[in-house]
């Protein structure tokens, strides 16, 4: 018996007109699986699927789900059949998926890509996975948006301008990769920072944005939240228990043009990185940041409440949520950000310093870090030390203050010396030199840059 034909007699079902792609996702589960003939089956499959040669997968166009050819033909669509009559008048039923896959006229592209701002078929021989914006820009009223930003950034007009430009740049330049992640921190909840994130996610659309927490940020399987995203919001997604190690991974997410994404039961793959990150927190120390950091911009929302009294505050948030839940409101904000003046904003420039970022840098300094920063002033005639000499000086420093030296201090000194070299952009951690005695020692440069 041929694997392509099924000598069965299922009840014949009339084939309706194929739904439009926009309606297919909800209608497909109700679609009959018996076609009157092979031509109808092939034409319908051609509207539903596309074979991608480079990746050797079949894409379901309604939702972007991919299948291997084997899964597609032998499992997922094995019971989608069409009626066939041979020369002797015998009726048989043939697998539509296998017939479509073997036809040279099947819908096929060379490769897949994720290119924001381009349509699905705009790039020759490429299937574009980008699914369009979540809203269409139309000029409208954004007075509530301006009132919220003026409240969140009161006392910081320059910071308000930077943040809004940071939001607007990837919308005006679809697919742009900013080299800075933004952090909004507030000591109290309910001031509106999450509201800002929510309205931006509506502009991008649910397929192009994602809300994540610590589990996603530090988990192994990152494909579901990182691949094919433009805007990622980390709600209390922080550095974790090992902030120094975690920050290195996060830096690669923020700046690298490509990233490794991994899905459960599948090999990791290299993916174009289009994601820009906004982090929301009430934590005093969400990430490990040193004083040479270029990638994080941070703003602390001043304490206080919007508007003067409780009734007015309730009215504002009720009006804002009604506005932001409407297509007209999101379209108006989309239009505003698309036409925002970006003069002075550079997507790859270092993040401007803010008072919150200074506080975070100071908070992350250990006692050893602070002491090493002051060592050039205490030892003005020296700039190079072995690690053993640094440990001896640290021991003297602790003894003068009645503090005991522990084994952990030695590890802390090594980490601090490495961080100091990285901050100085030396490109190396230390230098080996040969003394006149032919002994080789490793020296660390500890000096104030001039």
Tokens of 375: 């060592």
In a domain, 120, yes or no: no
What is the span of the domain harbouring residue 386? 365-445
Q: Is residue 133 part of a domain?
A: no
Q: Are residues 9 and 62 in the same domain?
A: yes
pLDDT in tens, 206-225: 999 999 998 898 888 999 99
The percent helix, strand, coil of the chain (3-state, each to 5) is 40, 15, 45
Per-residue pLDDT band for 243 (boundaries 50, 70, 90) equals low
Is residue 278 located within the same domain as residue 223? Answer: yes
pLDDT tens string 167-208:
999 999 999 999 999 999 998 787 889 999 999 999 999 999
- Domains identified in the chain, total number: 3
What dihedral angle (degrees, nearest 10) is formed by the CA atoms of 64, 67, 69, 72? -100
DSSP 5-17: EE---PPP-PPPP
Using a pLDDT cut of 70, give the percent of the chain over it.
83
Per the domain annotation, does 150 fall within a domain?
Answer: yes
295 lies in the same domain as 425? no
- Examine the domain organization and report whether 201 and 247 are in the same domain: yes
**Polymer length in residues for the chain:** 450
The whole-number pLDDT of residue 86 equals 82
Domain membership of residue 122 (yes or no) is no
The beta strand positions in 144-220, using DSSP E, are 181-185, 209-212
Alpha-carbon gap, residue 328 to 333, rounded angstroms: 9
Tell me the C-alpha distance between 152 and 160, whole Å: 8
Asked whether residue 342 is domain-assigned, the answer is yes
pLDDT range class, residue 39, cuts 50, 70, 90 = very high
Token representation of residue 187? 């000591």
For residue 25, being part of any structural domain is answered with: yes
Together in a domain, 173 and 239: yes
pLDDT band at 247 (very low <50, low <70, confident <90, very high): confident
Q: 12-36: per-residue pLDDT in tens?
A: 333 333 333 333 444 455 465 899 9
Residues 302 and 153 in one domain: yes
Provide the angle, in degrees to the nearest 10, between the axes of the packed helices 310-325 and 327-338: 80
322 and 380 housed in the same domain: no
328 plus 369 within the same structural domain: no
CA–CA separation, 221 vs 216, rounded Å? 8
pTM beyond 0.85: the answer is: no
> Among residues 64, 90, 109, which one ends one of the domains?
109
Please say which residue of 361, 381, 410 terminates a domain.
361
Nearest of 166, 194, 190, 168 to residue 180 by alpha carbon: 166
Measure the CA–CA gap between 4 and 450, rounded to whole angstroms.
77
Whole-number Å distance between alpha carbons of 212 and 220: 14
3-class secondary structure, 292: coil
**Whether residue 198 is found in the same domain as residue 271:** yes
Q: Is 111 a residue whose pLDDT tops 80?
A: yes
Supply angle C-alpha 203, 204, 205, rounded to 5. Answer: 95
pLDDT beyond 90 at 5: no
Res. 253: pLDDT tops 80: yes
Q: Is residue 114 part of a domain?
A: no
Whether 245 is in a domain gets the answer yes
DSSP string for 301-357: PPSS-SSSSHHHHHHHHHHHHHHHHSHHHHHHHHHHHHT---TT--TTSPPPP-HHH
| 77 and 26 fall within a common domain | yes
The CATH number of whichever domain residue 348 belongs to comes to: 3.40.50.300
User: Is residue 16 located within the same domain as residue 49?
Assistant: yes
Distance CA 97, CA 80 (A): 7
pLDDT at 166: 98
Query: Among 361, 395, 421, which residue terminates a domain?
Result: 361
How confident is the model over 316-340, as pLDDT tens digits? 999 999 999 999 999 999 999 999 9
Tell me, yes or no, whether 220 and 346 share the same domain.
yes
């Amino acid at each position: 018996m041929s694997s392509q034909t099924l000598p069965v007699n299922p009840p014949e079902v009339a084939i309706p007109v194929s739904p439009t792609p926009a309606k297919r996702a909800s209608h497909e589960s109700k679609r009959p699986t018996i076609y009157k003939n092979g031509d109808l089956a092939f034409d319908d499959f051609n509207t539903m699927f596309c074979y991608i040669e480079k990746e050797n997968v079949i894409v379901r166009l309604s939702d972007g789900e991919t299948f291997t050819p084997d899964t597609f033909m032998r499992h997922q669509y094995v019971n989608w059949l069409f009626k066939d009559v041979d020369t002797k008048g015998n009726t048989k039923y043939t697998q539509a998926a296998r017939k479509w896959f073997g036809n040279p006229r099947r819908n096929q592209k060379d490769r897949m890509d994720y290119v924001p701002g381009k349509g699905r078929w705009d790039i020759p021989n490429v299937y574009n996975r980008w699914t369009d914006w979540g809203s269409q820009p139309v000029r409208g009223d954004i007075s509530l948006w301006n009132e919220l930003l003026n409240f969140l950034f009161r006392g910081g007009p320059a910071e308000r301008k930077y943040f809004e430009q940071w939001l607007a740049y990837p919308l005006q330049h679809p697919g742009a990769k900013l080299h800075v992640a933004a952090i909004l921190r507030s000591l109290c909840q309910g001031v509106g920072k999450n509201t800002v994130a929510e309205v931006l996610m509506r502009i991008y659309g649910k397929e192009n944005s994602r809300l994540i927490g610590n589990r996603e940020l530090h988990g192994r399987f990152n494909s579901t939240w990182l691949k094919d995203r433009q805007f990622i919001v980390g709600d209390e997604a922080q550095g974790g228990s090992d902030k120094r190690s975690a920050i290195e991974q996060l830096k690669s997410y923020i700046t690298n043009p490509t990233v490794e994404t991994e899905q459960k039961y599948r090999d990791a793959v290299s993916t174009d990185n289009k994601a820009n990150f906004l982090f929301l927190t009430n934590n005093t120390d969400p990430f490990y940041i040193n004083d040479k950091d270029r990638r994080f911009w941070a703003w602390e929302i001043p304490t206080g409440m919007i508007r003067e009294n409780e009734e007015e505050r309730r009215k504002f948030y009720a009006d804002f949520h009604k506005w932001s839940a409407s297509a007209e409101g999101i379209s108006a904000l989309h239009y505003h950000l698309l036409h925002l003046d970006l003069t002075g904003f550079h997507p790859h420039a270092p993040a401007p310093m803010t008072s919150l970022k200074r506080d975070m840098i100071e908070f992350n300094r250990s006692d050893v870090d602070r002491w090493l920063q002051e060592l050039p002033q205490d030892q003005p005639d020296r700039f190079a030390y072995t690690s053993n000499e640094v440990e001896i000086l640290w021991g003297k420093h602790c003894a003068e203050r009645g503090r005991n030296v522990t084994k952990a201090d030695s590890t802390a000194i090594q980490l601090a010396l490495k961080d100091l070299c990285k901050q100085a952009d030396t490109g190396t951690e230390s230098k080996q030199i040969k003394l006149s005695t032919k002994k080789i020692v490793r020296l660390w440069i500890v000096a104030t840059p001039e």
